[in-house]
Amino acid sequence: MYEKDTYGNEVTRLARPLPVEYLLVDVPASTPLTPQFTFFTDDNITPFPVENRHVDGQVQEFNALCTYMQQFNADQFLEATSDFHLLLFIATMDMYPMKDHMLPLLEAIRNKNKEKALEWAQSEHWATVEQLISATSTASRPPQTTSFGSSSRTLPSAIAEASGGIGVGTEPIANPPPDQALWTCSHCTFLNAADLAVCEMCNLPREDVEEYDEEMMRELF
Query: pLDDT per residue over 47-61, tens digit each?
Result: 899 888 888 788 888
Given 105, 140, 175, the domain boundary residue is: 140
> 91 and 50 in one domain?
yes
> 177 and 115 in one domain?
no
Residues 6+ apart with CB under 8 A from 34: none
Q: How far apart (Å, rounded) are the C-alpha atoms in residues 1 and 203?
A: 68
- Is 159 domain-assigned? no
> What's the confidence (pLDDT) of residue 115?
93
> 133 and 47 in one domain?
yes
Given 122, 140, 158, the domain boundary residue is: 140
- Report the range of poorest mean pLDDT among 41-45, 117-121, 143-147, 193-197: 143-147
Look up the pTM and report it.
0.51
Contacts 24+ apart (CB under 8 A), 153-161: 153/127, 155/124, 155/127, 155/128, 155/131, 156/193, 157/124, 158/124, 158/125, 158/127, 158/128, 158/131, 159/128, 159/131, 159/190, 159/191, 159/200, 160/200, 161/128
> 49 and 108 in one domain?
yes
Q: How far apart (Å, rounded) are the C-alpha atoms in residues 129 and 138?
A: 14
- Is 213 domain-assigned? yes
- Report the range of poorest mean pLDDT among 37-41, 75-79, 90-94, 170-174: 170-174
- Is 110 domain-assigned? yes
- Is 2 domain-assigned? no
Contact (Cβ atoms closer than 8 angstroms) between residue 60 and residue 51: yes
Q: How far apart (Å, rounded) are the C-alpha atoms in residues 36 and 180?
A: 53
Q: How many domains does the chain have?
A: 2
What is the residue range of 100's domain? Answer: 40-140
- Is 218 domain-assigned? yes
pLDDT at 139 over 50: yes
- Is 19 domain-assigned? no
pLDDT at 36 over 50: yes
> 107 and 174 in one domain?
no
> What's the confidence (pLDDT) of residue 82?
92
Q: Find which of 7-16, 46-55, 79-88, 177-186 is predicted with most confidence, using mean pLDDT.
A: 79-88
The SS3 of residue 216 is: helix
> What's the confidence (pLDDT) of residue 89?
93
Q: How far apart (Å, rounded) are the C-alpha atoms in residues 179 and 93?
A: 33
Contact (Cβ atoms closer than 8 angstroms) between residue 151 and residue 122: no
> 126 and 56 in one domain?
yes
